[in-house]
Amino acid sequence: MGDFKLRPAFLFFLIIFVILFDMPAFAHKVTIFAWVEGETVYTQSKFSGGKRVKNSSVIVFDSDGNKLLEGKTDDNGEFSFTIPKQTALKVVLKASMGHMAEWKIPVEEINPEAVSNNSKPESDLKDSYETSSGSQTINSGTDLSVLSESHGISKQEIKKLIDESLDRKLSPIMNILADSYGGGPGLTEIIGGIGYIFGLVGVAMYFTSRRKRNHNSGS
Amino acid sequence: MHISEGVLSPAILTGGAALTAIGVGIGLKKIDYEEIPNIGILTSGFFVASLIHIPIGPASVHLVLNGMLGLILGWKAFPAILVGLALQALLFQFGGITTLGINTLNMAFPAVICYYLFGWGIKKSSGRIIFIITAFAAGCCAVLFAGILVGFSLYLNGDAFLPAAKLLVAAHLPVMLIEGVLTATCALFLRKVRPELLEGYYG
C-alpha cells in the first residue's frame, strides 16, 4: 500500500526535477544577430537555447523597406552577404512554423566614412583656410601630397588597413557576442512568472470570495 | 507553437483575439471559488512546460500541455492558457503581445475540443484501460489539433496549408507522444489522490 502511495509522489518529483535540470535547453523563440566586417555582413540565427536555425530564409531590406536580397542559412545558422547598398539595413529571419526575428544595422556600421565625412568639418576648415590665404594652402597641399607620396601610403589606405586589422582582431569578440545573444530565459523570469500566476490566483480568490460573501449576506 | 510578432496580418490577429475573448468569457463564467487554486497550479504548469525543450525531431519544439489543461479544466483552459501565454510573451519573449489572441486560440481551442471528445473517459466509473487511453488521446490530440490550427493560421496568411501543417505536425510528433504519456500519468495520479478534481466536472 505504501508503495502505491510512493509511486505517484515519486513521479511528481521526477517532473519537477526534469523542469529544474532541463533549463539550459530552453526553446522557443528565434533570434538573428548581424554584424559588419569590411564589405560583408555576417548573420547568425538560432532558436533560444542555442540550436541553430538551418535552411531558413533571411531577407534583407533597406531603410525604406525595399527588399534587396534573400538567402538561406547554412547548417550553422549562418548567412553572409556583401553590402548591397550603402544605407541602413534590416535583416529579417523567417524560420518555419511562424517564427520571425529581425536585426537592424544602422548606416554608421555599413558606411562609417559617409557619416564621418559629413559630421567632420575637416573639409570646411580647409576651405576657409584656403580662402583666407590662398597661396599658402596650395603650398601646404602640395607638401602634404608630396609627403604622402614619398611614404607611398595615402590617408584612405591607412584607414582601410586599420579597419581591416580591427575587423580581424574583433571577429572573435563578435562571435562571442553572436553566441551569447538570444539566450534562453533565466531562473528569475521563471520564478517571477510563477509568482505572477500565484498572485493572480490570490486576486481572483479575493474577488470571488467577496462576491460569495455578498451573495450569502444578501440571501 | 508560438507564432511570432509580425508574421500574421492584422485581420487574422484581430479575428483570433475576438474568438479568444469569447472563449475566455465562457471560461471565466464557469469558474467557481474552489477551483481557482487548481487553475492557478495548472497555469503554472503550462507556463513552465514551454521551457522543456525536446531535442528529438527536425525543429526546436517544447511541451505544450494544452491537452492536460483541457481535460481537467474544459473551457476554463482558455483563461489559464491566456495568462500563461501572456507571461511567456512578457518574460520569455515567446510569441508576442499582438499574437496573444491567435496563439491562445490555437492552443486553448484544441484543449476544449479534447475535453468534449475524451472527457467521457475520465470518470471513476470507467475502467482503467479506457481511462488511460482517453487521457493519452487527449494529451496527444490537443497538440495535433494545435499544430493543425497553427498551420491553418499560416495558411490564412498566405502560406501553403499542407506543407506548413505537415511540418508542424511532424515536428511535434515526439511532443504528442510525450504529452500523451504525461497526461495519462497525471490523470492516473489525480484519480488516485484527488479524484474529486476529475469527477467534479463530469458528474
We report the CATH number of the domain holding residue A165 as 2.60.40.10
- Burial zone of B129 (CB within 10 Å; 0-12 exposed, 13-18 middle, 19+ buried): exposed
Please provide residue A105's backbone torsions phi and psi, each rounded to the nearest 5 degrees.
Answer: -110, 115
Q: Decide the pairing of beta strands A30-37 and A67-72.
A: unpaired
Return the DSSP state at A140: H
Across the interface, whether the CB atoms of B88 and A29 are under 8 A apart is answered no
> Domain for residue A213, yes or no?
no
C-alpha angle B199-B202-B203 in degrees, rounded to nearest 5: 75
Checking if the pLDDT of A132 tops 50, the result is no
Q: For the segment A101-117, what is each residue's pLDDT rounded down to a tens digit?
A: 888 888 877 776 655 55
ipTM tops the 0.85 cut: no
Using an 8 Å CB-CB cutoff, list chain A residues near B189: 8, 11-12
For B67: left if phi > 0, alpha if psi spans -120 to 50, otherwise beta; the answer is alpha
B88 touches chain A (CB under 8 A): yes
Q: Decide the pairing of beta strands A78-82 and B53-54.
A: unpaired
Sequence-ordered strand ranges (E) for chain B? 53-54, 61-62
Checking if the pLDDT of B143 tops 50, the result is yes
CA distance B84 to chain A (A): 8
Given CA atoms B182, B187, B192, B193 in this order, what sign does their dihedral have?
Answer: positive
Using an 8 Å CB-CB cutoff, list chain B residues near A4: 192
Residues A41 and A17: beta-carbon distance below 8 Å = no
Alpha-carbon distances, residue A207 vs A212, A214, B33, B87 (angstroms): 9, 11, 9, 22
Q: Which positions ≥6 away from A18 have C-beta within 8 Å?
A: B52
- How confident is residue A24, by pLDDT bands cut at 50, 70 and 90? very low
- How confident is residue A162, by pLDDT bands cut at 50, 70 and 90? confident
Total beta-carbon pairs less than 8 A apart between chain A and chain B: 132
Chain A residue closest to B169 (CA)?
A97
Hey, what amino acid is at A131? T
CA distance B4 to chain A (A): 5
How far apart (Å, rounded) are the C-alpha atoms in residues A182 and A33? 8
> Domain for residue A138, yes or no?
no
> Domain for residue A104, yes or no?
yes
- How confident is residue A125, by pLDDT bands cut at 50, 70 and 90? very low
User: Edge-to-edge strands of the sheet including A89-95?
Assistant: A67-72, A57-62, A89-95, A99-105
Hey, what amino acid is at B132? I
Q: For the segment B38-95, what is each residue's pLDDT rounded down to a tens digit?
A: 889 889 989 888 887 776 655 667 888 899 899 888 899 999 999 999 998 888 888 8
Across the interface, whether the CB atoms of B44 and A204 are under 8 A apart is answered no
> Domain for residue A37, yes or no?
yes
Domain B10-199: assigned CATH number: 1.10.1760.20
Across the interface, whether the CB atoms of A98 and B59 are under 8 A apart is answered no
**Collapsed DSSP state (helix, strand, coil) of residue B24:** helix
Q: Which positions ≥6 away from B1 have C-beta within 8 Å?
A: A28, A97, B61, B62, B64, B103, B106, B107, B146, B147, B150, B172
Across the interface, whether the CB atoms of A47 and B55 are under 8 A apart is answered no
Across the interface, whether the CB atoms of B168 and A212 are under 8 A apart is answered no
Q: Report pLDDT for B16.
A: 92
> Domain for residue A55, yes or no?
yes
Q: Alpha-carbon Rg of chain A, whole angstroms? A: 30
Domain range enclosing A66: 29-112+160-180
- How confident is residue A55, by pLDDT bands cut at 50, 70 and 90? confident
Checking if the pLDDT of A140 tops 80, the result is no
What the block records as the C-alpha cell of A181 is: 545573444
Of B37, B51, B55, the CB nearest to A201: B37
Percent of chain A exceeding pLDDT 90 equals 0
Q: Report pLDDT for A17.
A: 53
This model's pTM is above 0.80: no
Using an 8 Å CB-CB cutoff, list chain A residues near B60: 27-28, 47, 49, 51
Q: Report pLDDT for B192.
A: 83
How far apart (Å, rounded) are the C-alpha atoms in residues B164 and B56? 19
Domain count, chain A: 1
Residue extents of the structural domains in chain B: 10-199
Using an 8 Å CB-CB cutoff, list chain A residues near B167: 96-97
> Domain for residue A3, yes or no?
no
